[in-house]
Amino acid sequence: MFKQLLVALDLTEMDDYLLRYVLFLAKKFDTERLYFIHNIKSYDLPDSIDTILMEIGKPLEQLVLEEMNEKVERIFSDSGVKINTIVKQSDSTAHTLTKIASELGVDSIVLGKKNAFKGTGIQVNKILRLTEKSVLLIPDYAHYSISKIIVPVDFSKHSELVINIASDISKKENDDLVPIHVYQLPRWFFPYVPEEKANKSLLESAKKSYQKIVNGTNINVDCQFLSGQGKGIARTIYDYATRNQADFIVIGLKGRNQVTGLQLGSVAAKVSQMEWHVPVLLVR
């Protein structure tokens, strides 16, 4: 998952947090190669900027590249990881990122997620929809540690892949792996049937499904079963993660109801938009 990464920088202070987190990741998972990319948006820049550019005599791309190199050097100089910095200029960052990720053949795309500024949120969703790679979302103020990994599972085919990936991640330094499953009575459930009974049988069948998934793998942790009644699945996951001091989440990009490849599951979409301080790995 983390051997070759494409990291998107946005030239704000967020980059420093992101870079330090990526450093931590690189050390933990022996990352081989890192690509840092920034896409200059083709807006008209104000005249004041043009004037300065003329003074310096260098094109904007070069300045950006220099700045990026400086930042990256400062943090990664002794890391032993091969570094490349890339600057592009296009209308759509999402499309450029997706294309480059594909061309370079990286394992995952790493994005910073600013909780405050909504502008970032729109882009994230677009990238999630376009790319065929997994995406790691790092919020500002994330802890530089991975000790408790939460994996929401919905027992779809994709779930099997997701939980195995999470398990591999946890095995690197023997971190806690906590699979969780949120069950909910369907919203149109007839109000006259006792809820308790229905919940109980939902729970039973969920437990069986979990057994089926972990059968034959080397995963031997129990799954936590949570009721999502009233809150919704994404919210339940969020609350559980915060209450149990999880510091990493692995979730499938596809939902149980996705038919074809490149669509975004509803829970994944909500989870990626929520404002929280835990990194989320969305597995394609």
Partner 1 sequence: MNNKTNKYFDIYAPVFYPASIIIILFIALTLIIGKPMEQVFSSIQAGITTNAGWFFVLAVNIFFAFAIYFAVSKTGRIRLGGKDAEPEFSTFGWFSMLFSAGLGIGLLFYGVGEPMYHFSDPVLTDGMTKTEAARTAMKFTFLHYGLHAWAVYAVLGLALAFFTFNKKLPLTLRSVFYPLLGDRIYGTIGDIIDVIAVVATLFGLATTLGLGVQQVGAGLKYLFDIPNTTVTHVILIALITSAATVSVVLGLDKGVRVLSELNMRLAIVFLVAMLILGPTIFLLDSFVQNTGLYFQEMIGLGAWTETYNMIDGKFTHWQNDWTIFYWAWWIAWSPFVAMFIARVSKGRTVREFFLGVILVPSLLTFLWMSVFGGSAMFLELQGTAEISSAVRENISTALFVMLDEYPLASLTSFIGIVLVTSFFVTSSDSGSLVIDSITAGGKLDAPVGQRIFWATTEGAVAATLLLGGGLKALQTASVLSGLPFAVILIVMCFSLLKGLNEEVEEMEKAEKVKERRAYQDVIKDLVEKRKDKF
- 8-12, long-range: CB < 8 A, 24+ apart: 8/37, 8/38, 8/39, 8/93, 8/97, 8/109, 8/110, 8/111, 8/112, 9/36, 9/37, 9/38, 9/68, 9/71, 9/112, 10/38, 10/112, 10/120, 11/38, 11/64, 11/67, 11/68, 12/114
* Residue placing its CB nearer to partner 1 in the complex, 41 or 208: 41
State yes or no: residue 89 binds partner 1 (CB under 8 A): no
State yes or no: residue 260 binds partner 1 (CB under 8 A): no
Closest distance to partner 1 from the beta carbon of 167 (Å) = 35
User: What six digits make up the tokens of 273?
Assistant: 């938009």
Q: Which stretch binds partner 1 (CB under 8 A): 18-26, 36-44, 77-85, 163-171?
A: 36-44
Closest distance to partner 1 from the beta carbon of 58 (Å) = 8
The Cα 232–Cα 152 span in angstroms is 13
State yes or no: residue 117 binds partner 1 (CB under 8 A): yes
x-marked contacts with partner 1 along 171-210 as a string, rule CB under 8 A: ----------------xx----------------------
State yes or no: residue 267 binds partner 1 (CB under 8 A): no
The Cα 84–Cα 34 span in angstroms is 6
* Residue placing its CB nearer to partner 1 in the complex, 123 or 147: 123
Contact call for residues 127 and 98 (beta carbons, < 8 A): yes
Q: Which stretch binds partner 1 (CB under 8 A): 98-106, 118-126, 142-150, 172-180?
A: 118-126
* Angle ∠(229,211,279) on CA atoms, nearest 5: 60
Closest distance to partner 1 from the beta carbon of 123 (Å) = 9
* Residue placing its CB nearer to partner 1 in the complex, 28 or 126: 126
The Cα 94–Cα 123 span in angstroms is 7
State yes or no: residue 66 binds partner 1 (CB under 8 A): yes
x-marked contacts with partner 1 along 43-62 as a string, rule CB under 8 A: x-xx-xx--xx-xx---x--
The type of residue at 232 is G
The Cα 109–Cα 107 span in angstroms is 7
The Cα 140–Cα 112 span in angstroms is 7
Q: Which stretch binds partner 1 (CB under 8 A): 38-46, 201-209, 240-248, 271-279?
A: 38-46
Q: Which stretch binds partner 1 (CB under 8 A): 113-121, 144-152, 193-201, 218-226?
A: 113-121
Contact call for residues 265 and 255 (beta carbons, < 8 A): yes
9-28 residues in contact with partner 1 (CB under 8 A) are: 10-12
The type of residue at 186 is P
Footprint on this chain of partner 1 (rule: CB under 8 A): 10-12, 40-41, 43, 45-46, 48-49, 52-53, 55-56, 60, 63-64, 66-67, 117-119, 122, 187-188
